[in-house]
Structure 1
Amino acid sequence: MPKLAPSDAAQPVIRPLTQAAMFLVLTVEDGGEAAVRELVPELTALVRAVGFGRPDARLACVTGFGSAVWDRLFGGPRPAELHPFVALDGPQHRAPSTPGDILLHLRAETHDACYDFADLVLTRLGGAVKIVDEVHGWRYKDVRDLLGFVDGTENPEGVEAVDTALVDAERDPGFVGGSYVIVQKYLHDMTAWNALTDHEQELVIGRTKAGNVQLPDAQLPKTSHVDRNTVVGPDGEEQDIFRANMPFGSFKDGEFGTYFIGYCATPAVTEQMLRNMFLGDEDGNRDRILDFSTAVTGGLFFVPPTSFLDDPPPAPGAAPPAPSPPPAATARPTDGSLGIGSLKRS
């Protein structure tokens, strides 16, 4: 049987933006591993069950696992580039690394579909996990963030999206169709941001606010978000990630921000973007958006292919299943019968 292509093997990573999203980051309590392992093979069926009566909701769930919990849940090989999120301490701004064993990225056209799926999963897991972060995102205007700019403009499409976001056989043959995802919760200082003129905001972002057009190179500041997020590979080609960011906000808590979520076939690209933003280049150019947006969480997860979820490897340390004994040999009849019930030749 031919091997699946990455796009056929993948969880629903490459999907159009929906009206609603929910981001849940969980830690697995000591002794909770068995409950998590029991649930993992049922995740695909639970999505179908919740979404069956409301196909227009387009419910999708992407499940990722952090480095620390991987070896607690699964025996056998690890994804080649899975490691903890690396905190960054820049001269002015910091990207923290925060706890997280499991990421559930839920997307749907209606928020109730996300809610019902999360309710099923969390009820099943009970005390086996602890919720350490929960963000409810929603589509804002014409796909803008709360800063007023269109988000995700440079997302690759089609074959390029597959090449960007999904692991292929050359990179890691044991995890074709998987993806590395980095998440960060950013809180915006809306008072300070709104004190800027539109032109000043455009210089921070690197795009026009109304038309969503990238500023000409001659006018693009080295401290702009566009410039700091541009990563060029050894071959001179620009390297991309697949973003599924969502705005969120709470008037009660006074928190307004963007939940950053970036998928890539290797975490190295997203990590270089973050270094460009927080640490800057040799000339000290850092991302000026960080003067208005503060990262308060940071996590790195591996999203395994669907075949891995549906049939996970044995638990770590578990003995491999004993091979089935060969079928017993059947003696050939010597009485002239065919050996089928009581049928015999006359």
Structure 2
Amino acid sequence: MAREQFGVCAEPSLHGYYLLFNALDDNNSFIRQALSHLPALFDKYADRFSEANLAGVIAIGTNYWDEIYPKGRPKHLRPFPEMASDDRIAPICNYDIYIEIRSDRGDVNHIVATKVCELLADSVELVEQVRAFRFLDGRDLTGFVDGTENPQGYHRREIALINEEQDAEFSAGSYLHIQRYRHNLNLWNSLEVKDQEDVFARTKVNNEEYSEENKAPTSHIKRVNLKDSDGKSIEILRQSMPYGDMKLQGLFFVSYCHSPEPFELMLASMIVGDENGHSDHMLKYTQAETGAAFFVPSLNVLAELGK
């Protein structure tokens, strides 16, 4: 039975470190070996710093998958859906490898990130690195709780992980989408709290969702809380975290799911909007600067890379 990477469904952490790499020419054999050794590296430091609750995720970019694992391809693996409508844009960035390191200690994340880079060595180029952190009680820097609609308990696995019936060869894997959003907090904080709440359709302090009749069709909740043809909620597992310093701030958005479709539907609802032209007004105050799609293979597939 395939085993999933623990970090996909792990509970929220206090600190995150996201590493995005591109492979350099003719290094695929070395990279396969290095990636196959990463789970053991995560386990080593998770044991050494057991109080930190370390969790890691290794993912392969959609454009790089066939090179790194020519034996097979996940059924629904496809590129990030580039979208644009008026001034709302979802750009695409090409990354070959994604490494997510999360724990309750920023120094442990730094140690593990250093070891990851040492292991991959000169076979890759580090294109982007983002240090993220938990803000207050799981809030985005806008002041609103992030991931309120996340699945809980065992349901997290049902949403995030592919099962045997969906794709037996790649069961226990997950489709991953990331976007690094940059917030315009000066503009956002110029709004009255009630106006901010109307943009979200949720109260800021108590995190109470508006009643259905009080949600504007342009509110963030209205645009991302979607239903399928049977009336069931369309869900993803978010593992997003805020990042920033005194110059720029934002959210590193991370979505795991057993299919790429739920994320794609939500993104289209935000950017393109509905048949009446209602898009997500939260996008007036934040802009995605990156976007990429990956596949998170099971530990079994990662082990195959080293053979």
Q: Normalised by the shorter chain, which TM-score bucket? A: over 0.9
Q: Which residue of 2 aligns with 1:210?
A: 205
For residues 237 and 123 of structure 1, the distance between their equivalents in structure 2, rounded to whole angstroms, comes to 45
2:22 counterpart SS class:
strand
Equivalent of residue 244 in structure 1, options 239, 243, 246: 239
State whether residues 33 and 306 of structure 2, in contact with CA within 8 Å, keep that contact through their aligned partners in structure 1.
Answer: no
Q: Which residue of 1 aligns with 2:77?
A: 82
Write out aligned runs for 1:155-304 (5 A).
Answer: 155-251=150-246, 254-304=247-297
Q: Which residue of 1 aligns with 2:15?
A: 20
For residues 240 and 147 of structure 1, the distance between their equivalents in structure 2, rounded to whole angstroms, comes to 23
Equivalent of residue 300 in structure 2, options 302, 307, 318: 307
2:41 counterpart SS class:
helix
Query: Which range is displaced more, 183-192 or 152-161?
Result: 152-161
- Cα shift readout 1:6-57 (whole Å, capped 9, x = no counterpart): xx54442111111100111111111221221111221111012222221001
2:154 counterpart SS class:
helix
1:47 counterpart SS class:
helix
Q: Which residue of 1 aligns with 2:89?
A: 94
Alpha carbons of structure 1 residues 67 and 313: separation in structure 2 relative to 1, 3 Å: farther
Task: Give the residue type in structure 1 aligned to 2:111.
Answer: D
Q: Which residue of 2 aligns with 1:134?
A: 129
Task: Give the residue type in structure 2 aligned to 1:63.
Answer: I
- Cα shift readout 1:188-213 (whole Å, capped 9, x = no counterpart): 00110000000000011111001001
State whether residues 76 and 313 of structure 1, in contact with CA within 8 Å, keep that contact through their aligned partners in structure 2.
Answer: no
1:286 counterpart SS class:
coil
State whether residues 32 and 306 of structure 2, in contact with CA within 8 Å, keep that contact through their aligned partners in structure 1.
Answer: no
State whether residues 11 and 303 of structure 1, in contact with CA within 8 Å, keep that contact through their aligned partners in structure 2.
Answer: no
For residues 166 and 64 of structure 2, the distance between their equivalents in structure 1, rounded to whole angstroms, comes to 22
Shift of 1:91: 2.0
2:112 counterpart SS class:
helix
For residues 168 and 89 of structure 1, the distance between their equivalents in structure 2, rounded to whole angstroms, comes to 33
Unaligned regions of 5+ residues in structure 2, if any?
none
Shift of 1:71: 1.2
Shift of 1:183: 0.3
For residues 201 and 39 of structure 2, the distance between their equivalents in structure 1, rounded to whole angstroms, comes to 40
Task: Give the residue type in structure 1 aligned to 2:14.
Answer: Q
Task: Give the residue type in structure 1 aligned to 2:234.
Answer: Q
Equivalent of residue 65 in structure 2, options 70, 91, 101: 70
Unaligned regions of 5+ residues in structure 1, if any?
315-346
Query: Identical aligned pairs, as a percentage?
Result: 33
Is 1:150 aligned to 2:145, yes or no? yes
2:249 counterpart SS class:
strand
For residues 119 and 306 of structure 2, the distance between their equivalents in structure 1, rounded to whole angstroms, comes to 21
- Cα shift readout 1:138-163 (whole Å, capped 9, x = no counterpart): 01111111000011111101232111
Alpha carbons of structure 1 residues 313 and 80: separation in structure 2 relative to 1, 3 Å: farther
TM-score scaled to structure 1, two decimals?
0.86
Task: Give the residue type in structure 2 aligned to 1:58.
Answer: N
Shift of 1:92: 2.2
Is 1:120 aligned to 2:115, yes or no? yes
- Cα shift readout 1:112-165 (whole Å, capped 9, x = no counterpart): 111111111111222211122211000111111100001111110123211111
Shift of 1:232: 1.3
4+ aligned runs moved over 4 Å, structure 1: none
Shift of 1:313: 7.5
C-alpha RMSD over aligned residues: 1.3
